[in-house]
Structures are given as C-alpha cells and as structure tokens.
C-alpha cells in the first residue's frame, strides 16, 4: 500500500543580513532615524559654530557682504578686549556663588513643600496647592516692580540677598516634585514609621533617596536658569563687583555700541562654564532628564 503524498508547504526565503526584507524591517527605520538626528544636530550646531567663527574675526571682516562666515583672518581681539575691560573673574565667581546658592535653597524649599503637599493632611492644603499651580502661569516680568520695591523696603538692593532670594521661589519645581512623590508607595513610609522613624526621618531617609533622579534634574534646571538669568540681576545690581557674568559682559559689550564680534564673544564666554559642566556631567544630566521626563515639560 503506497503512502499518501502530502503537499509540501512553500519554503520561506531565508532572511540574510543583506536581504531587502531585513533592510525594510530593521535597518531602514534606524537609518532614517539616524539621518534625522544628524540633520537636527547640524541645525542646532550651525548657529553655535557661526557664533564661534564670528567671534574670532575682526568687526570689519564680519561686516563684509556675503553669506560665508569665513570672511577674514583669525584673531582673538574681541576676547582680549572683553577680558581687559571687564572684571570677568569676579563676575564668574558671582555667577557661580549665586547659581549655587539659588539651586541649594530652591531644592531644599521645593522638596519640603512638595512633600507637604503630597503627604500632608493640613487644613487649606488644596487651596495652597491651587495657588502654587496658578503661580506657574504668572509671567515673571509682572513681578519685577513689586520685587524691586520690596528689596528697596528691606534695603537689600546691591546685595547678594537681593539677587538670590527672589529666585528661590519655583512653583513649577514644587509641582513636579509633588507629582513624583505621589508615585512613591506609602507602604515604605509606613514601615519606617513602625520602626520609630519621625516624619523628617521618613522624608530624609526614605523619600529623598528614592527621588535622586528627579531632585538631580530639578537642581540642574534651576542651576542653568539661575546662571543664565539676566533681567533680575541687571535690575537689582549697580555695583560692578556684584554683577553676574551675563550682566557684566553685557555692560562691556554695550559700552562699544552695536558690534557683532564682541557680542558673540560675550555670549560664548557666558556659556562656556555651562558647556564645561555638561561635558563633565553629561551622563548624569541625560539620565536625570530621561528618567523624569523634564526635557519635554
């Protein structure tokens, strides 16, 4: 008795490394994504490179017609002019001191306030939280005149306190930290309280260690904002020895009228410390922003 012949199913083609099938499902999207990232990086870097090239030329060469950024010989006269006529070391120290203190105080105040809103049951909690959220929508420019009058009232104009204190109130950071604290399981706190931990001990030993990524991200954004802040330090300081780096460099630049080369050199000098900080701590910065989602907020 002969065996019944069964029809053979068609064999699927093998997906080799160079096959169009694998290229369509694996490599092509990655190639397109990589190309898009390269294009976006080039678009972002173009103004930065243009600023560098402009800052190492003379004002006469930069003023020549044409779209090419390379119009003259290499020179560092703009940087020498700014360093000779400005007190850059003092301004850089002031910026570092003010940005560091603003970051330290803001993180301390914001974490405590966020913990109170997240775990507290006090009266008026909802109203205070609503006021905090509403404060996020208030433009900072509206507060300049009242804050300046307040500094005059307390005789704090031309002091470090006048520059620092108005910057430590950060409703957005309080709201972000509060949302993160809401996601921490309460069972961990209850276990600590059973072991006899106080409320502050729970906050210090349980909440903060679990919140290192968000706290680091908040500190990074607050430090960058305080370092780049120009308007408020410019208004509240008249003494050159108290000026921050952006304000001091602006005074040197503006004393020579509208000149493109000193302006570019000043901007690069002000941004250089932040670039150095990013190069040293780029992994922590990227991880903090990626884990907390602050980059898109």
222 and 103 in contact (C-beta within 8 Å)? yes
The answer to whether residue 51 sits within a structural domain is no
The answer to whether residue 101 sits within a structural domain is yes
- Domain tally for the chain? 1
The answer to whether residue 284 sits within a structural domain is yes
205 and 197 in contact (C-beta within 8 Å)? yes
Enclosing domain of residue 157 = 88-296
Alpha helices in 120-185 (DSSP H): 125-136, 144-153, 160-164, 171-182
The answer to whether residue 4 sits within a structural domain is no
Residue-level pLDDT at 58: 82
For 114, residues 6+ apart whose C-beta sits below 8 A from its C-beta are: 173, 174, 175, 176, 177, 178, 180, 181
140 and 73 in contact (C-beta within 8 Å)? no
The answer to whether residue 176 sits within a structural domain is yes
d(CA 267, CA 270) in angstroms, rounded, equals 5
The one-digit pLDDT tens for each residue of the chain (297 residues) are: 444 555 554 555 554 444 454 444 568 888 888 899 899 988 888 888 888 888 888 877 777 776 666 777 788 888 888 888 778 889 999 999 999 999 999 999 999 999 999 988 888 888 999 999 999 998 888 899 999 999 999 999 999 999 999 999 999 999 999 999 998 888 888 888 888 888 888 899 889 998 888 898 889 889 989 999 999 999 999 888 899 988 988 887 655 556 778 888 888 888 888 888 777 777 777 766 665 555 544
The answer to whether residue 100 sits within a structural domain is yes
Per-residue tokens: 185? 């399981």
d(CA 106, CA 110) in angstroms, rounded, equals 6
The answer to whether residue 126 sits within a structural domain is yes
The answer to whether residue 28 sits within a structural domain is no
Q: What is the CATH number of the domain that holds 148?
A: 1.10.3720.10
d(CA 99, CA 102) in angstroms, rounded, equals 5
């Amino acid at each position: 008795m002969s065996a019944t012949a069964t029809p053979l199913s068609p064999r699927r083609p093998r997906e080799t490394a160079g096959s169009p099938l694998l290229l369509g499902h694996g490599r092509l999207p990655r190639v397109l994504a990589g190309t898009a990232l390269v294009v976006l990086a080039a678009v972002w870097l173009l103004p930065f490179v243009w600023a560098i090239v402009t800052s190492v030329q003379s004002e006469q060469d930069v003023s020549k017609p044409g779209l090419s950024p390379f119009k003259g010989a290499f020179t560092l006269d703009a940087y020498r002019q700014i360093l000779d006529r400005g007190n850059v070391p003092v301004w850089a120290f002031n910026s570092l001191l003010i940005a560091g203190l603003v970051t330290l105080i803001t993180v301390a105040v914001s974490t405590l306030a966020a913990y109170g809103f997240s775990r507290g049951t006090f009266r008026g909690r909802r109203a205070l939280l609503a006021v905090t959220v509403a404060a996020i929508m208030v433009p900072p420019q509206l507060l300049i005149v009242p804050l300046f009058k307040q500094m005059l009232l307390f005789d704090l104009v031309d002091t470090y306190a006048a520059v620092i204190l108005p910057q430590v109130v950060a409703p957005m950071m309080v709201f972000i930290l509060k949302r993160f604290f809401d996601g921490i399981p309460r069972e961990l706190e209850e276990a600590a309280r059973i072991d006899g931990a106080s409320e502050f001990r729970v906050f210090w030993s349980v909440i903060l260690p679990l919140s290192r990524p968000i706290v680091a991200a908040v500190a990074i954004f607050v430090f960058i904002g305080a370092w780049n802040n120009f308007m408020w330090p410019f208004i509240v300081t008249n003494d050159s020895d108290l000026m921050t780096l952006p304000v001091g460099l602006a005074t040197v630049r503006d004393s020579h009228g509208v000149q493109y080369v000193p302006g570019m050199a000043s901007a690069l000098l002000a941004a250089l410390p932040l670039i150095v900080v990013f190069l040293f701590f780029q992994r922590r910065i990227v991880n903090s922003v990626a884990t907390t989602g602050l980059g898109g907020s």
